[in-house]
Structure 1
Amino acid sequence: MSSAVELIRATSLADTPYAYAATAPAGSRLIFLAGACPLNDDGTTAAPGDYAAQAARCVETLQAALDVAGATLTDVISTRVLVASSAQADLVTAWDVVHAAFGAHDVPSTLLGVTVLGYDHQLVEIEAIAAVTD
């Protein structure tokens, strides 16, 4: 099944590693996902202190949640990547992992540095919205 999501490019704006907008046709079913956290199966936080490893675990969690909802990464219409750091390098480290996971489906995204996230030792969280046609 092909994705209902259409990525929209803005050639008049700065060249970025993500689409500036996305849309889905009328009648699409929207899927609002809880923030994907870097949790192990036992509920502990994976890879304390490692931005890249936590971002990778967040992507795995996101993929599992999408699968249960009947979607894949290519059905994601937007993301918000939260990184508990004020250092731009830490944000970029997490972003590089997320961006690589999405590959050519460079969905519109917002990357934010935040003060703290909800779980002990948590450094990364990924929020997402997906759209599918049934």
Structure 2
Amino acid sequence: MSSAVQLIRATALADAPYAYAATAPAGSRFIFLAGACPLNDDGTTAAPGDYAAQAARCVQTLEAALDVAGANLTDVISTRVLVASSAQADLVTAWDVVHAAFGDHDVPSTLLGVTVLGYDDQLVEIEAIAAVAGE
């Protein structure tokens, strides 16, 4: 099934590794996901100190939550990637993993450096909104 999400390019703006906007048709069902955290099945934080591994675990968590809601990554209409660091290189490390996971579905995204996240040793969190055809 094709996604209800339509990515919108803004050719008049600087080239970016994501669409500047996205939309879904009237009647779409929106799914608002809690921040996907890098937690192991036992509730401990995965890969302490490793931005890339935590980003990958966040993507896995996001995919599992989307699946339960009847959606997948191509149904995501926007993301917010939170990285507990003031170093731009750490943000880029996490972003590269997230961006690769989404592939050609380069949704509008915001990448933020924050001072702290909610779990012990947590470095990355991904918030997302998805849209699927109305049911």
TM range (shorter): over 0.9
User: How many percent of aligned residue pairs carry the same amino acid?
Assistant: 92
Does residue 70 (structure 1) correspond to residue 70 (structure 2)? The answer is: yes
Aligned residue pair count: 134
Distance between the aligned counterparts of 2:37 and 2:8, measured in 1? 28
- Find the residue that maps to 1:15 and give its secondary structure: coil
Q: Could you report, residue by residue, the CA deviation over 1:17-38 in whole angstroms, capped at 9, with x for unpaired residues? A: 0000000000000000000000
Distance between the aligned counterparts of 1:4 and 1:32, measured in 2? 15
Superposition misfits of 4+ residues, deviation over 3 angstroms: none
Q: TM-score, normalised by structure 1?
A: 1.00
Distance between the aligned counterparts of 1:34 and 1:5, measured in 2? 19
Q: Could you report, residue by residue, the CA deviation over 1:83-127 in whole angstroms, capped at 9, with x for unpaired residues? A: 000000000000000000000000000000000000000000000
Distance between the aligned counterparts of 1:82 and 1:90, measured in 2? 11
- Point out where structure 1 has 5 or more consecutive residues left out of the alignment: none
- Find the residue that maps to 2:105 and give its secondary structure: coil
Distance between the aligned counterparts of 1:64 and 1:5, measured in 2? 19
Alignment of 1:1-134 (within 5 A): 1-133=1-133, 134=135
- Find the residue that maps to 1:131 and give its secondary structure: strand
**Alpha-carbon shift at residue 70 of structure 1 (Å):** 0.1
Distance between the aligned counterparts of 1:74 and 1:54, measured in 2? 21
**Alpha-carbon shift at residue 5 of structure 1 (Å):** 0.1
**Alpha-carbon shift at residue 40 of structure 1 (Å):** 0.1
**Alpha-carbon shift at residue 16 of structure 1 (Å):** 0.3
Q: Could you report, residue by residue, the CA deviation over 1:49-96 in whole angstroms, capped at 9, with x for unpaired residues? A: 000000000000000000000000000000000000000000000000
Distance between the aligned counterparts of 1:43 and 1:34, measured in 2? 16
Q: TM-score, normalised by structure 2?
A: 0.99
- Point out where structure 2 has 5 or more consecutive residues left out of the alignment: none
Distance between the aligned counterparts of 2:61 and 2:72, measured in 1? 12
**Alpha-carbon shift at residue 3 of structure 1 (Å):** 0.2
